[in-house]
Protein backbone atom coordinates (compact mmCIF):
# COMPACT_ATOMS: atom_id res chain seq x y z
CA UNK A 1 0.00 0.00 0.00
CA UNK A 2 1.55 3.30 -1.17
CA UNK A 3 2.05 6.26 1.19
CA UNK A 4 3.03 9.87 0.47
CA UNK A 5 4.35 12.04 3.33
CA UNK A 6 3.73 15.80 3.13
CA UNK A 7 5.24 18.32 5.57
CA UNK A 8 7.13 21.58 5.07
CA UNK A 9 9.58 20.62 7.83
CA UNK A 10 12.30 18.17 6.72
CA UNK A 11 12.89 17.14 10.31
CA UNK A 12 9.25 16.12 10.65
CA UNK A 13 9.44 14.11 7.41
CA UNK A 14 12.57 12.29 8.57
CA UNK A 15 10.98 11.57 11.95
CA UNK A 16 7.89 9.97 10.40
CA UNK A 17 10.00 8.06 7.86
CA UNK A 18 12.07 6.41 10.60
CA UNK A 19 9.29 5.95 13.16
CA UNK A 20 8.15 2.48 11.98
CA UNK A 21 9.46 -0.30 9.68
CA UNK A 22 7.16 0.57 6.80
CA UNK A 23 7.70 -2.45 4.54
CA UNK A 24 7.35 -4.91 7.42
CA UNK A 25 3.90 -3.47 8.07
CA UNK A 26 2.86 -3.67 4.41
CA UNK A 27 3.45 -0.04 3.39
CA UNK A 28 5.69 1.70 0.87
CA UNK A 29 6.70 5.37 1.08
CA UNK A 30 6.28 6.26 -2.58
CA UNK A 31 7.30 9.93 -2.24
CA UNK A 32 7.63 12.91 0.07
CA UNK A 33 6.75 16.58 -0.50
CA UNK A 34 7.20 19.86 1.33
CA UNK A 35 4.15 21.68 -0.01
CA UNK A 36 0.68 20.87 -1.25
CA UNK A 37 1.29 21.71 -4.91
CA UNK A 38 4.21 19.28 -5.20
CA UNK A 39 2.21 16.70 -3.27
CA UNK A 40 -0.70 17.01 -5.70
CA UNK A 41 1.60 16.37 -8.66
CA UNK A 42 3.17 13.38 -6.90
CA UNK A 43 -0.28 12.05 -6.00
CA UNK A 44 -1.29 12.05 -9.67
CA UNK A 45 1.94 10.27 -10.59
CA UNK A 46 2.02 7.62 -7.86
CA UNK A 47 -1.69 7.26 -7.01
CA UNK A 48 -1.14 6.41 -3.31
CA UNK A 49 -3.79 4.93 -1.07
CA UNK A 50 -2.83 7.00 2.01
CA UNK A 51 -1.29 10.46 2.47
CA UNK A 52 0.02 11.76 5.80
CA UNK A 53 -0.37 15.53 5.55
CA UNK A 54 0.56 18.57 7.63
CA UNK A 55 -2.06 21.33 7.76
CA UNK A 56 0.08 24.47 7.61
CA UNK A 57 2.30 24.54 4.50
CA UNK A 58 3.41 27.17 1.96
CA UNK A 59 2.20 27.40 -1.68
CA UNK A 60 -0.78 25.09 -1.06
CA UNK A 61 -1.77 24.17 2.48
CA UNK A 62 -3.04 20.79 3.65
CA UNK A 63 -6.71 21.67 3.47
CA UNK A 64 -6.42 22.87 -0.14
CA UNK A 65 -4.49 19.70 -1.01
CA UNK A 66 -7.13 17.43 0.52
CA UNK A 67 -9.89 19.26 -1.33
CA UNK A 68 -8.02 19.07 -4.66
CA UNK A 69 -7.36 15.32 -4.31
CA UNK A 70 -10.97 14.65 -3.25
CA UNK A 71 -12.33 16.58 -6.25
CA UNK A 72 -10.28 14.38 -8.60
CA UNK A 73 -11.84 11.23 -7.19
CA UNK A 74 -8.59 9.39 -6.56
CA UNK A 75 -9.90 7.76 -3.38
CA UNK A 76 -6.95 8.71 -1.17
CA UNK A 77 -7.39 8.51 2.60
CA UNK A 78 -5.65 11.18 4.68
CA UNK A 79 -4.05 11.18 8.11
CA UNK A 80 -3.77 14.82 9.18
CA UNK A 81 -0.88 15.80 11.50
CA UNK A 82 -0.60 19.20 13.08
CA UNK A 83 -0.25 21.16 16.31
CA UNK A 84 -2.85 21.81 19.03
CA UNK A 85 -3.64 25.30 17.78
CA UNK A 86 -4.60 23.97 14.34
CA UNK A 87 -7.44 21.76 15.56
CA UNK A 88 -10.26 23.98 14.31
CA UNK A 89 -8.51 24.21 10.94
CA UNK A 90 -8.06 20.45 10.81
CA UNK A 91 -11.71 19.92 11.67
CA UNK A 92 -12.63 21.44 8.29
CA UNK A 93 -10.49 18.78 6.59
CA UNK A 94 -12.16 16.02 8.57
CA UNK A 95 -15.56 17.23 7.37
CA UNK A 96 -14.55 16.47 3.77
CA UNK A 97 -15.02 12.74 4.47
CA UNK A 98 -11.68 11.45 3.24
CA UNK A 99 -9.70 12.10 6.45
CA UNK A 100 -9.49 9.00 8.62
CA UNK A 101 -7.81 10.59 11.64
CA UNK A 102 -6.23 13.72 13.11
CA UNK A 103 -2.97 13.44 15.07
CA UNK A 104 -1.08 15.89 17.25
CA UNK A 105 2.49 15.89 16.00
CA UNK A 106 4.39 15.64 19.28
CA UNK A 107 2.05 12.88 20.57
CA UNK A 108 2.65 10.48 17.67
CA UNK A 109 4.62 7.37 18.58
CA UNK A 110 5.25 4.06 16.86
CA UNK A 111 2.18 2.22 18.15
CA UNK A 112 -0.11 5.18 17.54
CA UNK A 113 1.03 5.56 13.93
CA UNK A 114 0.64 1.85 13.18
CA UNK A 115 -2.88 1.91 14.63
CA UNK A 116 -3.92 4.98 12.60
CA UNK A 117 -2.41 3.54 9.42
CA UNK A 118 -4.44 0.37 9.93
CA UNK A 119 -7.61 2.46 10.34
CA UNK A 120 -6.80 4.42 7.19
CA UNK A 121 -6.09 1.21 5.28
CA UNK A 122 -9.41 -0.31 6.32
CA UNK A 123 -11.24 2.90 5.41
CA UNK A 124 -9.54 2.92 2.00
CA UNK A 125 -10.43 -0.72 1.33
CA UNK A 126 -14.08 -0.18 2.19
CA UNK A 127 -14.20 3.01 0.14
CA UNK A 128 -12.43 1.33 -2.78
CA UNK A 129 -15.07 -1.39 -2.97
CA UNK A 130 -17.75 1.26 -3.26
CA UNK A 131 -15.66 3.27 -5.72
CA UNK A 132 -15.22 0.24 -7.95
CA UNK A 133 -18.96 -0.39 -7.99
CA UNK A 134 -19.59 3.25 -8.80
CA UNK A 135 -16.85 3.24 -11.45
CA UNK A 136 -18.32 0.13 -13.07
CA UNK A 137 -21.70 1.85 -13.30
CA UNK A 138 -20.07 4.95 -14.79
CA UNK A 139 -18.25 2.80 -17.33
CA UNK A 140 -21.43 1.02 -18.32
CA UNK A 141 -23.12 4.38 -18.76
CA UNK A 142 -20.23 5.62 -20.89
CA UNK A 143 -20.15 2.49 -23.07
CA UNK A 144 -23.90 2.29 -23.64
CA UNK A 145 -24.80 5.97 -23.99
CA UNK A 146 -25.87 5.76 -27.67
CA UNK A 147 -22.90 7.82 -28.77
CA UNK A 148 -23.68 10.81 -26.53
CA UNK A 149 -21.33 12.22 -23.92
CA UNK A 150 -22.07 10.79 -20.50
CA UNK A 151 -22.62 12.61 -17.25
CA UNK A 152 -19.21 13.13 -15.62
CA UNK A 153 -17.71 11.25 -18.56
CA UNK A 154 -14.60 13.38 -18.53
CA UNK A 155 -13.84 12.24 -14.97
CA UNK A 156 -13.75 8.56 -15.96
CA UNK A 157 -10.70 8.78 -18.19
CA UNK A 158 -8.97 10.89 -20.81
CA UNK A 159 -7.87 9.68 -24.27
CA UNK A 160 -5.88 7.88 -25.54
CA UNK A 161 -8.05 4.98 -24.35
CA UNK A 162 -8.26 1.29 -25.07
CA UNK A 163 -11.35 -0.83 -24.47
CA UNK A 164 -10.85 -4.56 -23.97
CA UNK A 165 -13.41 -7.35 -24.16
CA UNK A 166 -12.56 -10.75 -22.67
CA UNK A 167 -14.66 -13.74 -23.65
CA UNK A 168 -14.48 -17.32 -22.44
CA UNK A 169 -13.93 -19.65 -25.39
CA UNK A 170 -16.90 -21.95 -25.95
CA UNK A 171 -17.40 -24.39 -28.84
CA UNK A 172 -19.25 -23.19 -31.92
CA UNK A 173 -22.87 -24.32 -32.11
CA UNK A 174 -25.40 -24.09 -34.92
CA UNK A 175 -28.23 -23.89 -32.38
CA UNK A 176 -27.87 -20.66 -30.37
CA UNK A 177 -29.16 -21.21 -26.85
CA UNK A 178 -32.25 -19.31 -25.69
CA UNK A 179 -30.78 -19.09 -22.19
CA UNK A 180 -27.02 -18.96 -21.72
CA UNK A 181 -25.95 -21.28 -18.94
CA UNK A 182 -22.21 -21.49 -19.61
CA UNK A 183 -20.56 -18.95 -17.31
CA UNK A 184 -17.26 -20.81 -16.75
CA UNK A 185 -17.06 -19.15 -13.31
CA UNK A 186 -15.02 -16.71 -15.31
CA UNK A 187 -15.70 -13.15 -14.27
CA UNK A 188 -14.70 -13.52 -10.62
CA UNK A 189 -11.32 -14.95 -11.59
CA UNK A 190 -10.86 -12.33 -14.28
CA UNK A 191 -11.33 -9.44 -11.86
CA UNK A 192 -8.78 -11.01 -9.53
CA UNK A 193 -6.25 -11.13 -12.36
CA UNK A 194 -6.64 -7.41 -13.01
CA UNK A 195 -5.14 -6.67 -9.61
CA UNK A 196 -1.79 -7.46 -11.21
CA UNK A 197 -2.21 -4.90 -14.01
CA UNK A 198 -3.52 -1.83 -12.18
CA UNK A 199 -0.83 0.17 -13.92
CA UNK A 200 1.79 -0.84 -16.45
CA UNK A 201 4.58 1.33 -17.79
CA UNK A 202 2.28 2.67 -20.52
CA UNK A 203 -1.34 1.85 -19.66
CA UNK A 204 -3.45 2.16 -16.53
CA UNK A 205 -6.58 0.13 -15.79
CA UNK A 206 -9.51 2.51 -15.18
CA UNK A 207 -12.15 -0.12 -14.37
CA UNK A 208 -14.08 -3.13 -15.60
CA UNK A 209 -17.56 -4.65 -15.58
CA UNK A 210 -19.16 -7.95 -16.53
CA UNK A 211 -20.97 -7.96 -19.87
CA UNK A 212 -23.08 -11.11 -19.96
CA UNK A 213 -22.08 -14.63 -18.98
CA UNK A 214 -18.42 -15.37 -19.52
CA UNK A 215 -17.58 -11.82 -20.67
CA UNK A 216 -15.81 -8.85 -19.14
CA UNK A 217 -15.18 -5.33 -20.51
CA UNK A 218 -12.27 -3.25 -19.23
CA UNK A 219 -11.12 0.29 -20.01
CA UNK A 220 -7.48 1.37 -20.02
CA UNK A 221 -5.98 4.86 -20.24
CA UNK A 222 -2.60 5.64 -21.75
CA UNK A 223 -0.39 7.17 -19.06
CA UNK A 224 1.64 9.53 -21.26
CA UNK A 225 -0.87 11.75 -23.05
CA UNK A 226 1.79 13.39 -25.20
CA UNK A 227 3.30 10.19 -26.56
CA UNK A 228 2.10 8.48 -29.76
CA UNK A 229 -0.47 5.72 -29.31
CA UNK A 230 1.25 2.82 -27.52
CA UNK A 231 -0.35 -0.04 -29.48
CA UNK A 232 2.55 -2.49 -29.08
CA UNK A 233 2.76 -1.83 -25.36
CA UNK A 234 -0.95 -2.55 -24.95
CA UNK A 235 -0.68 -5.74 -27.00
CA UNK A 236 2.10 -6.90 -24.67
CA UNK A 237 -0.03 -6.03 -21.64
CA UNK A 238 -3.09 -7.85 -23.04
CA UNK A 239 -0.95 -10.89 -23.88
CA UNK A 240 0.35 -11.04 -20.31
CA UNK A 241 -3.20 -10.75 -18.94
CA UNK A 242 -4.37 -13.53 -21.25
CA UNK A 243 -1.57 -15.89 -20.20
CA UNK A 244 -2.17 -15.22 -16.53
CA UNK A 245 -5.91 -15.75 -16.82
CA UNK A 246 -5.58 -18.99 -18.74
CA UNK A 247 -3.29 -20.39 -16.06
CA UNK A 248 -5.60 -19.18 -13.29
CA UNK A 249 -8.87 -20.36 -14.86
CA UNK A 250 -7.65 -23.52 -16.58
CA UNK A 251 -9.29 -22.78 -19.95
CA UNK A 252 -8.68 -20.56 -22.95
CA UNK A 253 -10.27 -17.19 -23.60
CA UNK A 254 -10.18 -14.60 -26.36
CA UNK A 255 -9.31 -10.92 -26.00
CA UNK A 256 -10.40 -8.20 -28.40
CA UNK A 257 -9.45 -4.56 -28.02
CA UNK A 258 -10.03 -1.21 -29.75
CA UNK A 259 -8.50 2.25 -29.36
CA UNK A 260 -9.93 5.77 -29.08
CA UNK A 261 -7.52 8.71 -29.29
CA UNK A 262 -9.81 11.73 -29.23
CA UNK A 263 -13.13 11.56 -27.38
CA UNK A 264 -14.47 9.43 -24.52
CA UNK A 265 -17.94 9.92 -25.99
CA UNK A 266 -16.90 7.42 -28.69
CA UNK A 267 -16.92 4.51 -26.23
CA UNK A 268 -20.27 3.23 -27.59
CA UNK A 269 -18.58 2.83 -30.98
CA UNK A 270 -15.78 0.87 -29.33
CA UNK A 271 -18.13 -1.55 -27.58
CA UNK A 272 -19.95 -2.20 -30.87
CA UNK A 273 -16.64 -3.03 -32.55
CA UNK A 274 -15.72 -5.37 -29.70
CA UNK A 275 -19.11 -7.09 -29.73
CA UNK A 276 -18.85 -7.60 -33.50
CA UNK A 277 -15.39 -9.12 -33.06
CA UNK A 278 -16.62 -11.42 -30.29
CA UNK A 279 -19.65 -12.41 -32.39
CA UNK A 280 -17.31 -13.48 -35.21
CA UNK A 281 -14.94 -15.37 -32.92
CA UNK A 282 -15.35 -18.56 -34.99
CA UNK A 283 -13.23 -16.83 -37.66
CA UNK A 284 -10.43 -16.13 -35.15
CA UNK A 285 -10.57 -19.38 -33.21
CA UNK A 286 -9.96 -20.01 -29.53
CA UNK A 287 -7.34 -18.02 -27.67
CA UNK A 288 -7.62 -15.03 -30.02
CA UNK A 289 -5.79 -11.81 -29.17
CA UNK A 290 -6.59 -9.13 -31.72
CA UNK A 291 -7.40 -5.49 -32.33
CA UNK A 292 -11.01 -5.40 -33.54
CA UNK A 293 -10.14 -2.64 -35.97
CA UNK A 294 -7.68 -4.95 -37.76
CA UNK A 295 -10.16 -7.79 -38.27
CA UNK A 296 -12.04 -8.21 -41.59
CA UNK A 297 -15.44 -7.63 -39.98
CA UNK A 298 -18.42 -6.79 -42.22
CA UNK A 299 -19.99 -3.35 -42.18
CA UNK A 300 -22.83 -3.22 -39.68
CA UNK A 301 -25.37 -2.18 -42.32
CA UNK A 302 -24.09 -4.49 -45.07
CA UNK A 303 -26.97 -6.31 -46.86
CA UNK A 304 -27.24 -10.06 -46.39
CA UNK A 305 -27.07 -12.15 -49.56
CA UNK A 306 -29.55 -14.93 -48.89
CA UNK A 307 -28.52 -16.90 -52.01
CA UNK A 308 -24.75 -16.52 -51.82
CA UNK A 309 -24.19 -20.23 -51.18
CA UNK A 310 -26.52 -21.60 -53.84
CA UNK A 311 -23.87 -22.09 -56.53
CA UNK A 312 -21.47 -23.67 -54.05
CA UNK A 313 -24.12 -26.12 -52.86
CA UNK A 314 -25.04 -27.05 -56.44
CA UNK A 315 -21.38 -27.65 -57.24
CA UNK A 316 -20.92 -29.80 -54.13
CA UNK A 317 -24.07 -31.84 -54.83
CA UNK A 318 -23.03 -32.31 -58.46
CA UNK A 319 -19.61 -33.62 -57.39
CA UNK A 320 -21.24 -36.13 -55.05
CA UNK A 321 -23.67 -37.31 -57.72
CA UNK A 322 -20.71 -37.93 -60.03
CA UNK A 323 -18.87 -39.63 -57.17
CA UNK A 324 -16.00 -37.19 -57.63
CA UNK A 325 -14.97 -36.79 -54.04
CA UNK A 326 -11.80 -34.85 -54.90
CA UNK A 327 -13.87 -32.16 -56.62
CA UNK A 328 -16.29 -32.15 -53.70
CA UNK A 329 -13.48 -31.47 -51.24
CA UNK A 330 -12.10 -28.67 -53.41
CA UNK A 331 -15.55 -27.06 -53.66
CA UNK A 332 -16.00 -27.12 -49.87
CA UNK A 333 -12.57 -25.58 -49.27
CA UNK A 334 -13.18 -22.81 -51.80
CA UNK A 335 -16.65 -22.23 -50.35
CA UNK A 336 -15.35 -21.82 -46.82
CA UNK A 337 -12.45 -19.66 -47.99
CA UNK A 338 -14.98 -17.31 -49.59
CA UNK A 339 -16.68 -16.95 -46.18
CA UNK A 340 -13.52 -15.51 -44.63
CA UNK A 341 -12.40 -13.21 -47.44
CA UNK A 342 -12.58 -10.35 -48.11
CA UNK A 343 -14.56 -10.16 -44.87
CA UNK A 344 -16.10 -12.52 -42.33
CA UNK A 345 -19.52 -13.77 -43.45
CA UNK A 346 -21.14 -15.25 -40.33
CA UNK A 347 -24.59 -15.49 -41.93
CA UNK A 348 -23.02 -17.24 -44.91
CA UNK A 349 -21.31 -19.71 -42.57
CA UNK A 350 -24.61 -20.63 -40.93
CA UNK A 351 -26.21 -21.02 -44.36
CA UNK A 352 -23.35 -23.21 -45.57
CA UNK A 353 -23.60 -25.45 -42.51
CA UNK A 354 -27.39 -25.71 -42.86
CA UNK A 355 -27.18 -26.55 -46.57
CA UNK A 356 -24.40 -29.13 -46.16
CA UNK A 357 -26.12 -30.69 -43.17
CA UNK A 358 -29.28 -31.09 -45.25
CA UNK A 359 -27.26 -32.61 -48.09
CA UNK A 360 -25.56 -34.97 -45.63
CA UNK A 361 -28.89 -36.13 -44.25
CA UNK A 362 -30.20 -36.70 -47.74
CA UNK A 363 -27.20 -38.95 -48.39
CA UNK A 364 -27.90 -40.82 -45.17
CA UNK A 365 -31.53 -41.27 -46.15
CA UNK A 366 -30.45 -42.48 -49.58
CA UNK A 367 -28.31 -45.13 -47.92
CA UNK A 368 -31.12 -46.15 -45.57
CA UNK A 369 -29.04 -44.99 -42.60
CA UNK A 370 -30.45 -43.24 -39.53
CA UNK A 371 -30.34 -39.46 -39.47
CA UNK A 372 -27.33 -37.82 -37.86
CA UNK A 373 -25.77 -34.41 -37.44
CA UNK A 374 -22.26 -34.19 -38.97
CA UNK A 375 -21.31 -31.56 -36.35
CA UNK A 376 -22.76 -33.38 -33.33
CA UNK A 377 -20.32 -32.45 -30.50
CA UNK A 378 -20.18 -35.96 -29.07
CA UNK A 379 -18.88 -37.34 -32.35
CA UNK A 380 -17.21 -34.32 -33.96
CA UNK A 381 -15.74 -32.98 -30.74
CA UNK A 382 -15.66 -29.27 -29.81
CA UNK A 383 -15.24 -26.98 -32.82
CA UNK A 384 -13.86 -23.47 -32.33
CA UNK A 385 -12.64 -22.34 -35.75
CA UNK A 386 -14.17 -22.19 -39.22
CA UNK A 387 -11.35 -24.42 -40.49
CA UNK A 388 -12.30 -27.08 -37.90
CA UNK A 389 -15.92 -26.96 -39.09
CA UNK A 390 -14.86 -27.27 -42.73
CA UNK A 391 -12.59 -30.25 -42.06
CA UNK A 392 -15.23 -31.98 -39.96
CA UNK A 393 -17.82 -31.66 -42.74
CA UNK A 394 -15.38 -32.98 -45.33
CA UNK A 395 -14.52 -35.90 -43.06
CA UNK A 396 -18.19 -36.65 -42.38
CA UNK A 397 -18.96 -37.00 -46.08
CA UNK A 398 -15.82 -39.08 -46.52
CA UNK A 399 -16.83 -41.42 -43.69
CA UNK A 400 -20.26 -41.75 -45.21
CA UNK A 401 -18.75 -42.74 -48.55
CA UNK A 402 -16.58 -45.37 -46.88
CA UNK A 403 -19.59 -47.09 -45.32
CA UNK A 404 -20.27 -48.85 -48.59
CA UNK A 405 -21.89 -48.57 -51.96
CA UNK A 406 -25.29 -48.22 -50.32
CA UNK A 407 -24.30 -44.71 -49.36
CA UNK A 408 -24.08 -43.79 -53.02
CA UNK A 409 -27.55 -44.96 -53.96
CA UNK A 410 -29.35 -41.98 -55.44
CA UNK A 411 -32.81 -40.94 -54.43
CA UNK A 412 -35.21 -39.98 -57.16
CA UNK A 413 -35.37 -36.22 -57.87
CA UNK A 414 -38.98 -36.00 -56.68
CA UNK A 415 -38.22 -37.66 -53.36
CA UNK A 416 -35.24 -35.35 -52.86
CA UNK A 417 -37.57 -32.41 -53.48
CA UNK A 418 -40.00 -33.84 -50.95
CA UNK A 419 -37.27 -34.25 -48.32
CA UNK A 420 -35.99 -30.72 -48.85
CA UNK A 421 -39.51 -29.33 -48.45
CA UNK A 422 -40.11 -31.43 -45.34
CA UNK A 423 -36.78 -30.38 -43.75
CA UNK A 424 -37.57 -26.72 -44.39
CA UNK A 425 -41.16 -26.84 -43.07
CA UNK A 426 -41.26 -29.54 -40.39
CA UNK A 427 -42.00 -26.89 -37.71
CA UNK A 428 -45.38 -26.25 -39.36
CA UNK A 429 -48.43 -28.49 -39.41
CA UNK A 430 -47.60 -30.11 -42.73
CA UNK A 431 -49.03 -33.32 -44.11
CA UNK A 432 -48.40 -35.52 -47.11
CA UNK A 433 -50.92 -33.48 -49.10
CA UNK A 434 -48.93 -30.26 -48.56
CA UNK A 435 -45.70 -31.88 -49.70
CA UNK A 436 -47.21 -33.61 -52.73
CA UNK A 437 -48.82 -30.31 -53.83
CA UNK A 438 -45.55 -28.41 -53.35
CA UNK A 439 -43.55 -30.78 -55.57
CA UNK A 440 -46.30 -31.47 -58.10
CA UNK A 441 -47.07 -35.19 -57.70
CA UNK A 442 -49.98 -37.16 -56.31
CA UNK A 443 -50.27 -38.19 -52.68
CA UNK A 444 -50.33 -41.84 -53.68
CA UNK A 445 -47.14 -41.57 -55.71
CA UNK A 446 -45.38 -39.76 -52.86
CA UNK A 447 -46.37 -42.54 -50.45
CA UNK A 448 -44.92 -45.06 -52.90
CA UNK A 449 -41.62 -43.14 -53.13
CA UNK A 450 -41.18 -43.08 -49.34
CA UNK A 451 -41.98 -46.78 -49.02
CA UNK A 452 -39.90 -47.92 -51.99
CA UNK A 453 -36.80 -45.75 -51.51
CA UNK A 454 -36.68 -45.15 -47.75
CA UNK A 455 -38.58 -48.23 -46.52
CA UNK A 456 -40.75 -46.09 -44.25
CA UNK A 457 -43.98 -44.15 -44.47
CA UNK A 458 -44.16 -40.39 -44.89
CA UNK A 459 -45.51 -39.98 -41.36
CA UNK A 460 -42.80 -42.20 -39.89
CA UNK A 461 -40.07 -40.15 -41.56
CA UNK A 462 -41.63 -36.81 -40.52
CA UNK A 463 -42.05 -37.99 -36.92
CA UNK A 464 -38.48 -39.29 -36.70
CA UNK A 465 -37.13 -36.05 -38.13
CA UNK A 466 -39.09 -33.93 -35.66
CA UNK A 467 -37.95 -35.99 -32.69
CA UNK A 468 -34.33 -35.75 -33.89
CA UNK A 469 -34.64 -31.97 -33.93
CA UNK A 470 -36.27 -32.01 -30.50
CA UNK A 471 -33.32 -34.00 -29.14
CA UNK A 472 -30.88 -31.37 -30.40
CA UNK A 473 -32.85 -28.60 -28.70
CA UNK A 474 -33.11 -30.56 -25.44
CA UNK A 475 -29.37 -31.26 -25.46
CA UNK A 476 -28.29 -27.68 -26.07
CA UNK A 477 -30.98 -25.39 -24.67
CA UNK A 478 -33.03 -24.73 -21.55
CA UNK A 479 -36.20 -24.09 -23.53
CA UNK A 480 -39.49 -25.04 -21.90
CA UNK A 481 -41.30 -28.12 -23.16
CA UNK A 482 -44.12 -26.09 -24.66
CA UNK A 483 -41.57 -24.16 -26.69
CA UNK A 484 -39.73 -27.32 -27.76
CA UNK A 485 -42.93 -28.98 -28.94
CA UNK A 486 -44.00 -25.87 -30.88
CA UNK A 487 -40.60 -25.56 -32.55
CA UNK A 488 -40.76 -29.11 -33.91
CA UNK A 489 -44.33 -28.93 -35.17
CA UNK A 490 -46.51 -30.12 -32.27
CA UNK A 491 -49.22 -27.84 -30.91
CA UNK A 492 -49.85 -30.01 -27.88
CA UNK A 493 -46.93 -30.56 -25.45
CA UNK A 494 -48.74 -33.65 -24.15
CA UNK A 495 -48.95 -35.19 -27.62
CA UNK A 496 -45.29 -34.29 -28.21
CA UNK A 497 -44.29 -36.04 -24.97
CA UNK A 498 -46.22 -39.16 -25.93
CA UNK A 499 -44.61 -39.34 -29.37
CA UNK A 500 -41.16 -38.64 -27.90
CA UNK A 501 -41.49 -41.46 -25.38
CA UNK A 502 -42.80 -43.87 -28.02
CA UNK A 503 -39.70 -43.31 -30.16
CA UNK A 504 -37.05 -42.94 -27.46
CA UNK A 505 -38.41 -44.83 -24.47
CA UNK A 506 -38.19 -41.79 -22.18
CA UNK A 507 -40.04 -38.53 -21.69
CA UNK A 508 -38.43 -35.30 -22.96
CA UNK A 509 -37.45 -34.02 -19.51
CA UNK A 510 -35.92 -37.41 -18.68
CA UNK A 511 -33.91 -37.31 -21.90
CA UNK A 512 -32.60 -33.82 -21.04
CA UNK A 513 -31.65 -34.84 -17.50
CA UNK A 514 -29.79 -37.88 -18.83
CA UNK A 515 -27.87 -35.79 -21.39
CA UNK A 516 -26.93 -33.14 -18.83
CA UNK A 517 -25.60 -35.82 -16.48
CA UNK A 518 -23.11 -37.06 -19.08
- What would the DSSP string read from start to end of 130-177? HHHHHHHHHHHHHHTSTTSPPTTHHHH--SSEEEEEEEE-----SS--
How confident is the model at residue 35, as a pLDDT? 92
**Percent of the chain predicted with pLDDT > 70:** 86
How confident is the model at residue 373, as a pLDDT? 85
In contact, 386 and 282? CB cutoff 8 Å: yes
My answer on whether 110 and 175 are in the same domain is no
- Examine the fold and report which residue of 294, 310, 326 is the final residue of a domain before the chain moves on: 294
My answer on whether 16 and 76 are in the same domain is yes
Q: How far apart are CA 390 and CA 215, in angstroms?
A: 27
My answer on whether 251 and 310 are in the same domain is no
pLDDT tens, 120-135?
A: 999 888 887 777 667 7
- Examine the fold and report which residue of 357, 390, 409 is the final residue of a domain before the chain moves on: 409
pLDDT tens, 256-312?
A: 999 998 888 888 999 999 999 999 999 999 999 999 999 999 886 555 555 667 889
CATH code: domain of residue 13: 3.40.50.2300
In contact, 412 and 454? CB cutoff 8 Å: no
Give the confidence band of 156 by pLDDT, cuts at 50, 70, 90: confident
281 within some domain: yes
Q: How far apart are CA 205 and CA 162, in angstroms?
A: 10
How confident is the model at residue 117, as a pLDDT? 92
Mean pLDDT along residues 105-115? 88
Mean pLDDT along residues 86-105? 75
Mean pLDDT of the chain: 84
Residue-number span of the structural domain to which 362 is assigned: 300-409
Is the pLDDT reported for residue 485 higher than 90? yes
Q: How far apart are CA 439 and CA 444, in angstroms?
A: 13
- Examine the fold and report which residue of 269, 294, 319 is the final residue of a domain before the chain moves on: 294
Beta bridge partners, 28, equal 2
My answer on whether 184 and 265 are in the same domain is yes
451 within some domain: no
What 3-state class would DSSP assign to 411? coil
Q: Please provide residue 218's backbone torsions phi and psi, each rounded to the nearest 5 degrees.
A: -130, 150
Q: Which helix (H) or strand (E) holds 79?
A: strand 77-82
My answer on whether 290 and 169 are in the same domain is yes
CATH code: domain of residue 159: 3.30.70.270
My answer on whether 161 and 283 are in the same domain is yes
pLDDT tens, 325-384?
A: 899 999 999 999 999 989 999 999 999 999 999 888 888 876 666 678 898 877 778 899
My answer on whether 271 and 204 are in the same domain is yes
My answer on whether 124 and 6 are in the same domain is yes
My answer on whether 278 and 305 are in the same domain is no
pLDDT tens, 204-263?
A: 888 888 888 788 999 999 988 889 999 999 999 999 889 988 888 888 999 999 999 888
How confident is the model at residue 146, as a pLDDT? 52
* Number of domains making up the chain: 3
Is the pLDDT reported for residue 50 higher than 50? yes
Is the pLDDT reported for residue 405 higher than 90? no
In contact, 366 and 267? CB cutoff 8 Å: no
Mean pLDDT along residues 132-157? 66
Q: How far apart are CA 429 and CA 450, in angstroms?
A: 19
| 292 to 236, 273, 296, 456: CA distances (angstroms) | 16, 6, 9, 52
Please give the residue that has the higher pLDDT: either 143 or 181: 143
My answer on whether 290 and 306 are in the same domain is no
Is the pLDDT reported for residue 179 higher than 50? no
CB within 8 Å of 460: residues ≥ 6 apart: none
Q: Which helix (H) or strand (E) holds 103?
A: strand 99-104
Is the pLDDT reported for residue 150 higher than 50? no
Least confident range from 68-77, 139-148, 185-194, 367-376: namely 185-194
Is the pLDDT reported for residue 148 higher than 50? no
Please give the residue that has the higher pLDDT: either 195 or 267: 267
The two beta strands, 50-54 and 2-6, are: parallel
How confident is the model at residue 187, as a pLDDT? 47
How confident is the model at residue 458, as a pLDDT? 94
Please give the residue that has the higher pLDDT: either 111 or 362: 111
Residue from 70, 48, 194, 65 nearest 121 by CA: 48
Give the confidence band of 174 by pLDDT, cuts at 50, 70, 90: confident
pLDDT tens, 439-470?
A: 999 999 999 999 988 888 999 999 998 998 89
The two beta strands, 77-82 and 99-104, are: parallel
240 within some domain: yes
Amino acid sequence: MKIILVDDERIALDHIRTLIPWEENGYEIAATATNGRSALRLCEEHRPQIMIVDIRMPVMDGLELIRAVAERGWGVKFIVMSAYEDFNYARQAISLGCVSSYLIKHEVDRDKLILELAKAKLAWEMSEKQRKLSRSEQLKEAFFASGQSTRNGGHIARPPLCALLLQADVPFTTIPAVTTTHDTNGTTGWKEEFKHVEKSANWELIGEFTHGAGRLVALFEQCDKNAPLQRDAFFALASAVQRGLQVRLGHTLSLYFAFECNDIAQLPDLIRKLEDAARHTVFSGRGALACAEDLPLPARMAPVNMNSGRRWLDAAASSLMQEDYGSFESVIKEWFDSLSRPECDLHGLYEAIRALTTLYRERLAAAGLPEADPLEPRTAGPLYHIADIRERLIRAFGELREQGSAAHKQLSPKLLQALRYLHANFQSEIGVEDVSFAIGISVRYLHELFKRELNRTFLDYLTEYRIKQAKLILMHEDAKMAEVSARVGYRSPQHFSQVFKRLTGVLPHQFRAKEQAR
